Amino acid sequence: MDSGSTAGRRAAIVPGLFGADPLEYGRAVADVARTDAELMHLDVMDGCFVPDISFGLKAVQSVRKAFGRRLDVHLQVERPQEHLDGLTRAGVDLVSVHAESTPHIARLLRDLESSGVAAGVVLNPGTPVSAVEEVAHLVEQVVVMAVNPGTSDFLDYTVGKIRRLRADLDARGLGHIRIAADGGVTAERVALLRDAGADRLIVASALFKDPAGVEPTYRSLCAAASGA
């Protein structure tokens, strides 16, 4: 993908289920299934790498049965290698691993490839773009955290980070690799992140907690992300 001019590019809206009311997760999955979203994002958190604890393997399996399109699992855990087999058996399509969570990120990405699962790598706000330089060719997406995991404060400087990453990937002939922005993505920030070079915008609270409802809000966000 040529990003010589990032203004006007399209970006996909990716619903992040963790933004829904925990008492309404089943309904939220059904709501997303009624949209044309190609991916749904699941945050798997262990209470150690980040303060929260979220979806475990049984929850992932249940979502897999209820949602017929691609599932994108974001591992926010220590010892991510211990989760790969279960997620592979559950039939997830894409697993993104934090570069900060393991000294063996290349091995984990290769293990995912061998299992037939697409791989991603995630960068915390304080982790430089150079951390993915040696493994970018192994992944479908690089996820740039726009908040510190476990918090909700959007960090403006991550927009420039996305822009630098997009330019670097394109310069290396890796323009096909998607950049996903995660954290604090709102309707007001969609165009900003899209024009910086993000191809995927992971939207959680701004989607599920909008009083308009999931389907109308999703359509509105898609319109903002279309670059039209």
Q: How far apart are CA 46 and CA 58, in angstroms?
A: 14
Could you tell me if 150 and 129 are in contact, meaning their C-beta atoms sit under 8 angstroms apart?
no
Catalytic residue chosen out of the listed positions 43, 46, 93, 170 = 43
Could you tell me if 15 and 42 are in contact, meaning their C-beta atoms sit under 8 angstroms apart?
no
Query: For the structural domain made of 12-225, what CATH number should be given?
Result: 3.20.20.70
pLDDT tens track, the chain, 228 positions? 344 445 557 899 999 999 999 999 999 999 999 999 999 999 999 989 998 889 999 999 999 999 999 999 999 999 999 999 999 999 999 999 999 999 999 999 999 999 999 999 999 999 999 999 999 999 999 999 999 987 779 999 999 999 999 999 999 999 999 999 999 999 999 999 999 999 999 999 999 999 999 999 999 999 999 975
Task: Examine the residue annotation and report whether 195 is marked as an active-site residue of this protein.
Answer: no
What's CA 212's distance to the chain center, in Å?
A: 24
Catalytic residue chosen out of the listed positions 31, 46, 170, 182 = 182
Task: Examine the residue annotation and report whether 153 is marked as an active-site residue of this protein.
Answer: no
Could you tell me if 150 and 51 are in contact, meaning their C-beta atoms sit under 8 angstroms apart?
yes
pTM of the model: 0.93
Structural domain boundaries in the chain: 12-225
Strand segments, DSSP code E, in 112-151 are 118-123, 141-145
Number of helices followed by number of strands (H, E) in the chain: 8, 8
Structure tokens at 10: 């399209």
